[in-house]
Structure formats: C-alpha cells, structure tokens
Amino acid sequence: MNDAFRVGLVNRWEQCDPRRGTNFANILVQWHLFEPPYRASDQPGQIESVLLDYPLQPEGSEDGSAIYSAGVRPGMFFSDGTEVTSAHIATSLDRSPSFLIQASARARGSRVFFKVRRPNARFELTLSRHEHAIVLEKGGEFLGTGPYVLSPDSQPDRLRLVRNRFYKGAVQLPEIECVVYPVDANGSRRKLLEAVDRGEVDFTEDLPRDDLNRVQRMRKCIDLGYCTAILSFNTERPIFADSLVRRAFAAAIDRKALAAQSYSNALAFTATGLLPPALGKATPDEITHDLDQARSLLASAGIDRPSKPLVLAVVPVPRPHLPEPRATADMIAGQLSQLGFSFEIRQTKSMDEFFDIAGHGQYDLILSGWIPDTPDPLDYLESLLATHSIPAVGRAASKGSNLSRWHNPDMDKALDMERVKSDPANWQKITDLIRGEVPSFPLMYGPHTVVVSWRAKNFPRNFCNRPFLAGLELEPRSALVDAVAT
C-alpha cells in the first residue's frame, strides 16, 4: 500500500471538462486540476487574483452592455508548459455555457475584455465559479493550471492526481489518490464507511452526518445548512402553470418526514426556504404540511387530473442535500398520491442523462437541489429562478439551472435591479414572489460533513472553492500507526 493521500468518493468522476455539468465528486477533483480567473476569499466579500489581475477595470459600454478588462498575470502555465495568454482565457470562457449566459470575452494584447450582458456589480464572482475554470484543449485532453494533473493510468473509479510541475504555488502533497466506493442498492455508504474504518481513506466529504458517529480515529467537521434539496415543478407543463396547483403540491408534502428519513435530527434539516442557512438568514416560506388545504387549493384551481402518471425525475447520485435520492423520491410520490395523482419515478443513470432530461424539459417534477457556487445569495437565487438560467438543449451544462423552467418578468426585473444595487425593498419583492408563486419547493438543508486523517497537518477549517489538499502536510502512514499503538 503506497503512502499517497487517499480521498474516498461515492460518485464516479464523469466529466473531464469543468465547463460542462458536474456531479459533487467532480468539484473536488476539478478544484485541484483547473483554476478560474478569480477565487472567492475566505474573508467575506473579498476576491483573490488567480489568473487575472484584480480588480477588473471599467472600460465604458458597448451596445448598452458594460465592458470590463483585466490583465493576465505573467508567468502562469498550463500543465504542459504552455504559458497562459489572454486568448486562452477568452476562448475557454466563451466555451462555457453558463458564462455565455452572463457575458462574452475577447482578447486584446495581454488583457481580456468582458462584455457583460446585463448590469452586474458582482461580476468578479462570476469569474470565480468552478465551471468557469480556464481550460486548454490540446490533443484531445483538457489541460488546467492547477497544482495537479491526472496520471495517465487514472480510471473513473480510481484517479491519481500527481503534481503539476509548472504550477507556481506551493504543493505539499506529492500525490492524491481518489477511490470510488459506490453506494449499495439501498443507498447505504457501507463500502466507504468500511474503508474509512480500515484506515484506507484519509479524507471524504461523502459520509452522511448520521454515519459520522461510527467513525473512529479521524477528525470530523460538520457545517450545517450548507445546501438545499429542492423539488421543482415544471411550470411549462399545463398542470403546473397555475401557482395554486404548485402551492397545493407543496402543502401536501411533509418536509419534516422527508428529513427524518435521511437524518436522525429532522428538525435541524427541515427546510423553510430556498436559501440555505450558510448564506444568511432568509425569510421562511411559511408553507406548512396541511393536506386539507392542499385539496382545497386544487379544487380552487379546477384542474383535471391527468390520465397518465406524472414524471418525477431524480438526480442519479447522492448529494449532501440528498443522501438517498431514490428513497426521498419514493416518499414524495407517496405523500402526493394522497391528492389523487400517480407518478413514474425516473432516476437517471448519469449526470449527462440528467442534464439531457433537464435541457429538454422531459419531466413534470424534478428532484435535485443546489450547492452555492459563490457566497452571494443573489447568485444562488438567480441560478434557480432567472429566465436566462432555464436549461436548454446544448446549454444544460449551466447546471445552476432554473429547473422549474419558470418565466417571470417581475422576478427577472427584480434580480437585475438587485445586481445593480442591493435594496431591502427590492429583496422583499423577490422573497414575496417566491412565497406566492412557489416555482420550486425547498425540502431539506444538507450539511457539509468531512472526516480527515489525523496524519494530515495544516488542515484548513474553511476550504471550499480552492485546491485545499495541495497545502496539507502529511505524516507517514507508518508514523501514525506507531503513534496510535503507543
């Protein structure tokens, strides 16, 4: 057994290109292979320069769109030794579907110019998102500027990350091995937990909170309220075009029962709004489980129940907010059947299939969720509610999708106004629209749970959105065994 630092995963690494849709396993790997132009700092509201100088410089406007520019930091290289240029950055960003929703980029000399499609006082955060990492496509490979590269012998179930010799920053770990321990048919993480118990895993984010009590001789970190599980209603389908129907379905769902299925302390995880607590205190949606009210709302809507089952699409892999996606979908279908509806649960086999279904809108309801890309609550809500965030064929990689496919001009206007200048009255309007229209229904908040070996020194308390493993110092495995024995 070699002395590499071992990461335990439950999901396979499905995408080599960070600009496409991703699953939760991809994010950790991608942060260590690729870098975006900027990075959100651990300090609230602060931005770190990575590949571009900071701050962005205003350059006036063009066709009503704001123009900004930034110079490329000299001496930055891709993993094959190619020096990063403004053309590399502009070309890479313009191949990211989610970036093109926000802006376009062009190179001029040593600077990159950004044409921002709508006013955005926080555009630097857009350039810090992991799907806006800078990629050099060469020889059928995707090359990054991060501290590691994939070893040629890597497989989807076992990745080896070895040092990028052209990376300028400090790298303490010479090698990281990422091993997949798939979930059982019943959604159990038994294989991963057993590997942790055997000392085969040095780090994992994939154990549910209730399994942490079984872990011994490992450091444990838990951040509650990190992300949100969400049931989205496809508002392009006639049955969910009426907000009365959406509110009825929401009232028929017992969120506390759903949380109790996944967590022992259900009350701590039951959602009361779309925004997870990690992004700040949000106004509760005030939706309570009330089957009589749900039936009354349906009667007021006057809809005819469809003869065919409603399609409930489900994300294929466990997420922090959905530790057991299929079990949660089954319970939702059971609760909603009390309104007289039947359901076909369609759990996709891969994230590619999930994004394809999302892009084509081939569902009536969809069970997924959202993990913040940035610390900005507005980014979170815009990803879920803005018209421009509706996934489309060829654009499904903008994974921060408006999966309810909700077109609401008032919401779009309010989000755009908040981009220009934050205003409490305008934010209240956004909140009121969410509460009244219920395009999506938040179910549970997910925790960020981490276990890490004690042989990892300098482990950071806040480590999201950065290649944090590169900075760890490692005690030899043999030294740790001797220390435990004594």
Which CATH superfamily includes the segment(s) 225-446? Dipeptide-binding Protein; Domain 3 (3.10.105.10)
* Beta strands across the sheet bearing 5-9: 148-150, 158-163, 175-180, 5-9, 203-204, 440-453, 218-233, 365-370, 310-314, 343-347
Tokens at residue 460, please? 């950071």
What does the alpha-carbon distance between residue 313 and residue 239 come to, in Å, rounded to a whole number?
16
Q: What is the pLDDT of residue 398?
A: 44
Q: What is the pLDDT of residue 427?
A: 96
Q: What is the pLDDT of residue 253?
A: 98
Name residues whose C-beta falls within 8 Å of residue 340's C-beta, 6 or more positions apart in sequence: 305
Closest CA to 447 of 188, 182, 220, 131: 220
Instruction: Indicate the class that CATH gives domain 5-17+146-216+454-485.
Output: alpha beta
Q: What is the pLDDT of residue 22?
A: 62
Name residues whose C-beta falls within 8 Å of residue 464's C-beta, 6 or more positions apart in sequence: 448
Q: What is the pLDDT of residue 264?
A: 85
For each of the chain's 486 residues, which pLDDT tens digit applies?
A: 467 999 999 988 876 888 876 666 678 899 999 999 999 887 767 899 999 999 999 999 988 899 999 999 999 999 999 999 999 999 999 999 889 988 999 999 999 999 998 888 889 999 999 889 999 999 989 999 999 999 999 998 999 999 999 998 999 999 999 999 998 888 789 999 999 999 999 999 999 888 888 998 899 988 888 899 999 999 999 999 999 999 999 999 999 999 999 888 899 999 999 999 989 877 899 999 999 999 999 999 999 889 999 999 999 888 889 989 999 999 999 999 999 999 999 999 888 889 889 999 999 999 999 988 888 899 999 999 999 899 887 544 444 589 999 999 999 999 999 988 889 999 999 999 999 999 999 999 999 889 999 999 988 877 777 899 999 998 876 655 444 444
Give me the CATH code for the 35-143 domain, please: 3.90.76.10
> What residue spans in the chain does CATH classification 3.90.76.10 cover?
35-143
Q: What is the pLDDT of residue 484?
A: 44
What does the alpha-carbon distance between residue 329 and residue 339 come to, in Å, rounded to a whole number?
16
> What residue spans in the chain does CATH classification 3.40.190.10 cover?
5-17+146-216+454-485
What pTM did the predictor assign? 0.85
Distances (CA, A) of 166 to 128, 162, 177: 22, 12, 20
